[in-house]
Chains A and B, each alone.
Chain A
Amino acid sequence: MAAHPMDIAWLDLMVAAALILVAVALSAYQRLGLEKQILLGALRATVQLIAVGYLLVWLFTTDRWWIVLAVLALMVVVATITAARRQGKTARDRVTVLPIAGFAILAGAALTLVYVTTVIVHVQPWYSPRYLIPLFGMIVANAMNAAALALERLQSEMESRRGEVEALLALGATPGQAAAEPMRKATVAAMIPAVNALAVVGIVSLPGMMTGQILAGTDPTLAVRYQLVVMFMLTAANAITAALAVALYRRTFFTPAAQLRVRVAV
């Protein structure tokens, strides 16, 4: 197997950009009105990715554990804000949700990352940015989606099943018992993307990471093993994040005297 991928020179990249012009031309011909958005989008993608490329080059050479950890922390913060942004109905709801989303994402992502990099991949040194940053990026993105889905679904289930939850409370249920069905629904909703991904990988989808590794000259069987580790890792992170987000968010719907809080009233 060739150890080095075929080079893409800057000139090649400009030639590739001609493909964007095809999309622009089609948009103009069909009067879709997307030309400006496509061009701006392509420009943004180029600037962002080139910047990230140089940032990664710098990160890989600095060799400082605390810089790597700072980058990982920044990923969690951005993911947390994104997951919490569209939750609840009021600004106060979003403030309630923020620490819950943050903790759930951090716990789900960090536990899986530590397991994979210490037990499976044996990353040396432990903070090696070449492994930690792309792996953590994938995990956090998944955990973020799991948290957002779980929180959103729990909120809507608690609203639509308010009568059922209150009927259970009136029979002497604990809040956990009364909210069991909304919690189950929310956790399932958050897990479905990961479960579906497991089922169709290799048939419907060839994951970008695996194709990337193969293009870069890695033995396809090794690339497959890496991909499997990543998928198991993402599934675990999804499950941990969803379970934590649901369990923590559930508490905010009840008073200490096992009463539904007023904000659930619709």
Chain B
Amino acid sequence: MGPRESPEPAFRLREVRQERAGKFLLDGLTLDLPRGGFTALIGPSGAGKTSLLRLLNRLDDPVSGTVEFLGQAITEVPIRALRRRVGFVFQAPVMFAGTVRANLGVAQRLGDAAGPLAEREISRLLELVELDPSFADRIAADLSGGEKQRVALARALVTQPEVLLLDEPTAALDPELADRLVHMLARLRETTGLTMIVVTHRLREARVAASSIVMLEAGRVVEAGEAAQVMQAPRQERTREFLTAGEDH
């Protein structure tokens, strides 16, 4: 637990329901997501992990229930400001046209800041995601999957968010690259003090980097708590089963 940990949760969800095409994705979910720290959302596919993540910067709104961001109803926060304070990194990184510099520039231009992104800031962001500053001139579309994911991450950091949401950031990577990305995320969290909320289906990642863990299944919270406790002494039988079955991942 970092020194920035505070009792006020980053997000407070109450009785949240979400549905698509008549099917419940989140089924009366109630949960506090801690501020500062690395929260891993785990659970089998179809548990509602991504559906939950998408509510936190209002890419979607729930059909019922409430979501609060830092004690304020999330719908009261101006939408563009919210999205710049709560960054989102997608499972499949989308690169915009042009160089890595241009990609970071898009995030800068969408804000209210005057002028282009300073070269020094570009180098700093690339260093944060552990890419060489020379990457600024590379064509983003030509990068490897792992590099693209890092650029997407750096791009999300341009807005100086307080929270970073990551939807299975390692899903498209081979195990070794996935490991490196997760370690990088853990270091990034340490240096920036960001609140990170990461959907993952790889338990290893949760074990390596998470300070707290939320286990979801069928749109509900099975168990939530400090990472060490959930991993080593899960209170719920269902969590225990999932963790045991997941050992082969």
Q: Which residues of B contact A172 (CB under 8 A)?
A: 80-81, 83-84, 107, 110-111, 159
Contact with A along B89-127 (1 / 0, CB 8 A): 010101010000000001100110000000000000000
**B59 within 8 Å of A (CB atoms):** yes
> Is B155 among interface residues, defined by CB-CB distance under 8 A?
yes
**A171-B84 in contact (CB<8A):** yes
Complex contact B159–A171 (CB within 8 A): yes
Pick from B59, B111, B152, B155: contact of A169, CB under 8 Å: B59
Report how far A258 CA is from B88 CA in the complex, Å: 15
A171/B156 in contact, CB under 8 A: yes
Shortest CB-to-CB span from A229 to chain B, Å, is 39
| Most chain A CB within a 10 A radius of its CB, from B20, B75, B79 | B79
A116 on the B face (CB < 8 A):
no
* Nearest CB in chain A: distance from B111 CB, A: 6
The interface residues of chain B lying within 8 Å CB-to-CB of A258 are 79-80
Shortest Cβ distance from B88 into chain A, in angstroms?
Answer: 4
B60 at the A interface (CB under 8 A)? yes
Does A199 touch B at the CB level, under 8 Å?
A: no
Complex-state Cα separation, A257 to B79, whole angstroms: 7
Q: Which residue of B lies closest to A256 (CB)?
A: B79
Central interface residue in A169, A255, A260, by most chain B CB within 10 Å: A169
Closest to B81 in A: A172
Q: Which of A167, A168, A177, A259 is close to B60, meaning CB atoms less than 8 Å apart?
A: A259
Contacts of B84 in A (CB 8 A): 171-172
Size class of the contact patch on chain B: 20 to 34
A91 within 8 A of B: no
Residues of B within 8 A of A259 (CB): 58-61
User: Contacts A257-B61, A259-B60: A168 and B110 contacting too (C-beta < 8 A)?
Assistant: yes
Contacts of B156 in A (CB 8 A): 170-171
* Residues of chain A at interface, number, CB under 8 A: 19
Indicate whether A167 sits within 8 Å of B90 (C-beta atoms), given known contacts A172-B110, A177-B110, A262-B20.
yes
Q: Is residue A159 within 8 Å, beta carbon to beta carbon, of the partner chain?
A: no
The answer to whether B51 has its CB under 8 Å from any CB of chain A is no
Of the candidates A163, A171, A260, which one forms a contact with B110 in the assembled complex, judged by CB atoms under 8 Å apart?
A: A171
Q: Min CB distance, B1 to chain A, in Å? A: 28
B62-84 contacts to A (CB < 8 Å)? 75, 79-81, 83-84
Which one of A167, A260, A262 contacts B94 once the chains associate, using CB atoms below 8 Å? A167
Given contacts A170-B88, A255-B61, A257-B75, 17 further A-B contacts (CB under 8 A): A164-B96, A166-B59, A168-B106, A168-B110, A169-B59, A170-B57, A170-B83, A171-B83, A171-B87, A171-B107, A171-B156, A171-B159, A172-B81, A258-B80, A259-B58, A259-B59, A265-B20
**What are 26 inter-chain pairs, A to B, with CB distance below 8 A?**
A164-B94, A167-B90, A167-B94, A167-B96, A167-B152, A168-B110, A169-B59, A170-B59, A170-B83, A170-B87, A170-B88, A170-B90, A170-B156, A171-B84, A171-B87, A171-B158, A171-B159, A172-B110, A172-B111, A173-B110, A174-B80, A255-B61, A257-B79, A258-B79, A258-B80, A259-B59
| A interface list, Cβ under 8 A from B | 163-164, 166-174, 177, 255, 257-260, 262, 265
